[in-house]
Structure 1
Amino acid sequence: MPRFNIDHIRLLRLTGFFAYLCSGMPLITSWAAERLDQLNRPNFALLLWTLSYLLFGVLYLLLTSNLGTTRRNLGTRLVGLTLMTISTLAVGWYSHSGLSAILMVVASVVLPWLVPFWLSVVWLLTWNLALAAVFSTFPELNYSFIWGLFQASIYMGFAALGFVASLVARQQADAREDQRRLNSELRATRALLAESTRIAERMRIARDLHDLIGHHLTALSLNLEVASHLTNPQAAEHVLKAQATAKHLLSDVREVVSELRQDDAIDLTQAFRSLIEGVPGLHVHVETPPRFSVEDPRRAQVLLRCAQEIITNTAKHAGARNLWLHFDYVNANLLELAARDDGRGATNFRPGNGLSGMRERLAEFGGSVTVDLEVSQGFALTVRLPLGEVPELAHTPSRFEPPALGMR
């Protein structure tokens, strides 16, 4: 049976907008004008009703344009919700109908994605009381606030149903994102483990070749040297040939051991490729040196965790569409990570637990993290990690080749 990949957040947004359009059907029929005539409202009341309805739709589209992310700060969303509330009450005031309550139900469905839970609950209750006040002006309800509250409570039940259903969907979306992040971390850690295992196996083979075969070949060469002085000239010729062969073989073994020991650094390319896959709503651009490797597994793990924290914070708090991670070797013993996004910036920046954790991890190896508060757009920081490698063993010349194309 074929499966259809549906963006549930987008589907929720479009369904809410469809419900909004349905609530505007009276405006394209004669019912709205007849209703205002019954209420003895002036002619421009229909225009104000229409403008209030359109304002709600525009605000709905703007506030939900990036539903599920935090591209706009909480203050902006609160202002938008306030204007949506006012427009909803205006529709109810001019139409003297339950259309305003229907719009409240539409807004309640996206409310959990826009503001925190308890603020959403307070907002719904306040909205319900405001609707009750509007309904109490209806002659059909005898201008009674109690009857208005009773009428609003009926619609409040549907709003609560939509709110809870959307809240569950939001929690499931967050759980899926946590699972994706953990899976990315697991894949990246697995890549590091595979690299560490590969290096450990190469070192074991190198030691075995050096200690076992190298030792025996050395002993064989010495014995042949002695035998060449004890045999007759005819046999000595063959002993000398065997001795030369043993020396060539010993030289080959030493060359193989040197090559095995040379590539003893952990390649980080695959680990970071696993880390940036599938980050929702954020394009991560990574640029690395041609040979992106670290010899110390602990430092490789620290660098991986720092990059992961930067990606997570950017996706959650920066409101950015792009994140650039540029890795480079400042010198043979210092690795630098420059991170920059195109989000809201560091206007009200305050270090959190994530940044503090990065500093603690880096401080263990003499590293540092610096936040650039002067950047004109977005947020930028620089991570520096000393590699603690002996220059002649770090094989650094290949690290400074012309840069390779970055991965995305």
Structure 2
Amino acid sequence: MLVVSVGVAAPTLFGAGDPAIPRGWWIALFALFLTALLTATMVRSPAIVGHGAYAVAVVSVWVAVLTARNTGLLLILLVVTAATSVYLFPLWVGLTVAVLNTAVVLAVTLPGSANPTEPALVTGFYLLIQVATVLSSATLIRERRMRRELAAAHVELQAASILLSESARTAERLRISRDLHDLLGHQLTLLTLELETARHVDAIAARAHLDRADRVARDLLRDVRATVGQLRTEAPDLETALRQITAAVPGLAVSLAVSPGVRIGEEQRVALIRAAQEIVTNTLRHAEATKLRIEVTSEDDVITLRAEDDGCGTADVVLGNGLSGLRERVVALGGEIAFDGRAGFAVVARVPAT
């Protein structure tokens, strides 16, 4: 955008054409246009700054075009201005700017023209170009937003899958514990009775009781081994779960570091998985970031999760439903959480290890 703008304004900037106002003033006007347009596209918070800068860019480009005697390709600046609007405003605003820009084109091309057809053709051409660029830019923005939403849905699905597996394993452990109580309790009672009986009868009768006790003991050993085999199907560790959530997120490079010494309880593990999910989806939807770093460390029985992106950030952090839920989940475990939007967006959550 910057290169195109300077390129089309080069003849007037470097003396090929004389503007209707002093060249120094025209150059200052053009510099104001570029500065305002760049500010509008780069400063998103607070919104009034971006909107005000865009209004300045629109007015300054109108004045620059109207005061340039030899417009040539300078009218392309109007196209650039219209196309930029969709990044800041709804589509109707961009179309309105295109119409107003077209009036400027007509005001430039109509005076002094012997044939009214030529101004009409030029004006119609620039109107079509502006509408096309506005619509194509809006389409690109919509597709990018849909890709972010799809990526966020992918992260949420991964987290839900992990937590569902964890819930199923928890239910299975509860079932096994009940089975152990019922089955082993019965077998141990039977074994105790057979051995107690064998102590109070003669050797011949005791033999039969000891044989039955031996069979009960063998059955008990077999059942214990089977139960242990089921319990060995453990949930993946925290790092594996977090990597499943953060792997291959479209449009966002996520780096993850989990300290080797992290040991964490089941509720804390679920909370950190949910925290990572919310952080990644929040970054995709709001931060306009390209990089996100997540670190999990352990110190003095406290687990700390730090996350920071390189997005636009915000001076005033307003917690939506997702971040509010994240705070409630951390506080419920006796932890604390802090948010910082001054440089990118950062989250620091601390929870007890167990």
| TM-score (normalised: structure 1) | 0.61
Q: 1:278: how far off?
A: 4.0
Return the alpha-carbon distance in structure 2 between the equivalents of residues 320 and 197 of structure 1. 35
Identity of aligned residues (%): 30
1:363–1:120 CA distance, 2 compared to 1 (3 A): farther
Correspondent of 1:383 among 344, 349, 353? 349
1:19-168 equivalence runs, <5 A: 44-45=16-17, 73=44, 75=49, 79=53, 86=60, 90=64, 94=68, 96=70, 99-105=73-79, 108-109=82-83, 111-112=85-86, 114-117=87-90, 119-136=93-110, 138-140=111-113, 152=123, 155-168=126-139
Deviates more, 1:179-188 or 1:204-213: 204-213
1:248–1:318 CA distance, 2 compared to 1 (3 A): same
Q: 1:115: how far off?
A: 1.6
- Residues 214 and 253 in structure 1, CA contact (< 8 A), matched pair in contact too: no
Return the alpha-carbon distance in structure 2 between the equivalents of residues 269 and 86 of structure 1. 54
- Residues 162 and 241 in structure 2, CA contact (< 8 A), matched pair in contact too: yes
Partner amino acid for 2:292?
A: L
| TM-score (normalised: structure 2) | 0.68
- Residues 288 and 311 in structure 2, CA contact (< 8 A), matched pair in contact too: yes
Aligned match of 1:312 = 281
Aligned match of 2:170 = 199
Q: How many residue pairs align between the two structures?
A: 335
1:276–1:82 CA distance, 2 compared to 1 (3 A): farther
Aligned match of 2:291 = 322
- Residues 218 and 250 in structure 1, CA contact (< 8 A), matched pair in contact too: no
Gaps (5+ residues) in structure 2? none
Gaps (5+ residues) in structure 1? 1-12, 37-41, 64-69, 390-408
Secondary structure of the structure 2 residue equivalent to 1:139:
coil
Q: 1:239: how far off?
A: 5.4
Q: 1:249: how far off?
A: 6.3
- Residues 256 and 295 in structure 2, CA contact (< 8 A), matched pair in contact too: yes
Q: 1:243: how far off?
A: 4.0
Secondary structure of the structure 2 residue equivalent to 1:140:
coil
Aligned match of 1:397 = none
Secondary structure of the structure 2 residue equivalent to 1:181:
helix
Q: 1:378: how far off?
A: 4.1
2:190 is aligned with 1:219: yes
Partner amino acid for 2:307?
A: A
Return the alpha-carbon distance in structure 2 between the equivalents of residues 218 and 204 of structure 1. 21
Q: 1:246: how far off?
A: 4.7
- Residues 61 and 77 in structure 2, CA contact (< 8 A), matched pair in contact too: no
Q: 1:219: how far off?
A: 0.6
- The CA RMSD measured in Å over matched residues stands at 5.0
Return the alpha-carbon distance in structure 2 between the equivalents of residues 372 and 97 of structure 1. 48
Aligned match of 1:340 = 308
Aligned match of 2:242 = 272
Aligned match of 1:287 = 257
Return the alpha-carbon distance in structure 1 between the equivalents of residues 114 and 56 of structure 2. 27
Q: 1:236: how far off?
A: 4.5
CA offsets 1:319-378 (integer angstroms, 9 cap, x no match): 54432222234554x5432222344555x22323244343344444444322358x8x54
1:168–1:368 CA distance, 2 compared to 1 (3 A): same
Return the alpha-carbon distance in structure 2 between the equivalents of residues 251 and 169 of structure 1. 66
Q: 1:140: how far off?
A: 1.4
Return the alpha-carbon distance in structure 1 between the equivalents of residues 149 and 290 of structure 2. 19
Q: 1:313: how far off?
A: 3.5
Return the alpha-carbon distance in structure 1 between the equivalents of residues 195 and 236 of structure 2. 42
